[in-house]
């Protein structure tokens, strides 16, 4: 069965059609990660942007099991310069049918500088269409933007939205995002990793469920949601 695995912060596993894909594989240095990077053997890595808490352990995991890395053109060029060979570059608005799902890059309002100061291009989110037809929207690090309404028009089953505030949307803007995206389920991410992004996800869940039709699933690090 397809499922979503939460590894804490913004690190998400997707088991789709028998393939493991990890979005933003940040294990080493992630105080919420329930396991280390050596314990994951993904076939695919999706990177939303260049910041250290998202690029994470991409290079170590690549050396370990050679997953295909999917990201924007600039991040892929950086990874190629670091010896990564199994890559697939896309860019905002472009979709491609990968072995595990169709993946479209979406807009995100944020930065994307890579750890060595290289230009990471525009940050992205991902709209992922599983073989089952289920659509998962991983917003990436982003502030609120009105074009979330366009993404919502596609019919989202599960949205993964940051609620931590400070670096991304906080709880109030994330509620406004839910109103535009209208997903069946929303999973809050990118909170409680450090004091600066401390939030109460259950308080947010109450608010969202009171004011929208969306169901909130709060996943503890290590927990999974069957799709």
Scanning 46-54, 69-77, 86-94, 149-157 for contacts with Mn ion by CB under 5 A, the matching segment is 46-54
Closest to Ni ion by CB, 15 or 141: 141
Scanning 12-20, 138-146, 148-156, 180-188 for contacts with Mn ion by CB under 5 A, the matching segment is 138-146
Closest to Mn ion by CB, 100 or 204: 204
Put the strands of the sheet holding 19-23 in their side by side order.
87-90, 68-72, 44-46, 19-23, 12-16, 3-6, 224-226
Please identify which residue in 15, 53, 57, 165 interacts with Mn ion, judged by CB under 5 A.
53
Nearest approach, Cβ of 51 to Ni ion (angstroms)?
4
- Which of the residues 166 through 225 are near Mn ion (CB under 5 A)? none
DSSP state of 3: E
Q: How far is the C-alpha of 163 from the C-alpha of 201, rounded, in Å? A: 8
Closest to Ni ion by CB, 141 or 165: 141
Q: How far is the C-alpha of 189 from the C-alpha of 7, rounded, in Å? A: 10
* Angle subtended at Cα 202 by Cα 185 and Cα 151, rounded to the nearest 5 degrees: 30
Put the strands of the sheet holding 124-130 in their side by side order.
95-97, 101-107, 124-130, 135-138, 158-162, 185-189, 215-216
Q: Report the residue number whose CB is nearest to Ni ion.
A: 51
In angstroms, the first-to-last Cα distance of the chain is 7
Nearest approach, Cβ of 4 to Mn ion (angstroms)?
19
By the rule CB under 5 A, 141 interacts with Mn ion = yes
Nearest approach, Cβ of 15 to Mn ion (angstroms)?
23
Interface residues with Mn ion (CB under 5 A) are 53, 141
């Amino acid at each position: 069965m397809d499922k979503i695995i939460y590894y804490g912060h913004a690190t998400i596993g997707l088991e789709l059609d028998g393939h493991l894909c990890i979005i933003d594989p940040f294990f080493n240095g992630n105080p919420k990660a329930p396991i280390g990077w050596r314990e994951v053997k993904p076939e695919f890595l999706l990177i939303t942007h260049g910041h250290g808490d998202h690029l994470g352990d991409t290079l170590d995991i690549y050396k370990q099991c050679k997953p295909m890395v999917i990201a924007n053109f600039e991040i892929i060029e950086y990874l190629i310069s670091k010896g990564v060979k199994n890559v697939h570059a896309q860019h905002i608005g472009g979709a491609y049918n990968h072995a595990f799902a169709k993946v479209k890059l979406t807009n995100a309002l944020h930065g994307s500088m890579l750890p060595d100061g290289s230009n990471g291009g525009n940050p992205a989110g991902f709209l992922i269409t599983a073989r089952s037809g289920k659509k998962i929207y991983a917003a990436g690090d982003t502030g609120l933007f009105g074009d979330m309404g366009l993404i919502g028009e596609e019919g989202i089953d599960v949205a993964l939205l940051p609620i931590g505030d400070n670096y991304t949307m906080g709880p109030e803007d994330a509620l406004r995002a839910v109103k535009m995206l209208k997903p069946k389920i929303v999973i809050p991410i990118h909170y409680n990793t450090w004091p600066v992004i401390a939030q109460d996800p259950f308080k947010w869940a109450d608010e969202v469920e009171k004011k929208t039709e969306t169901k909130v699933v709060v996943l503890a690090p290590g927990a999974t949601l069957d799709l």
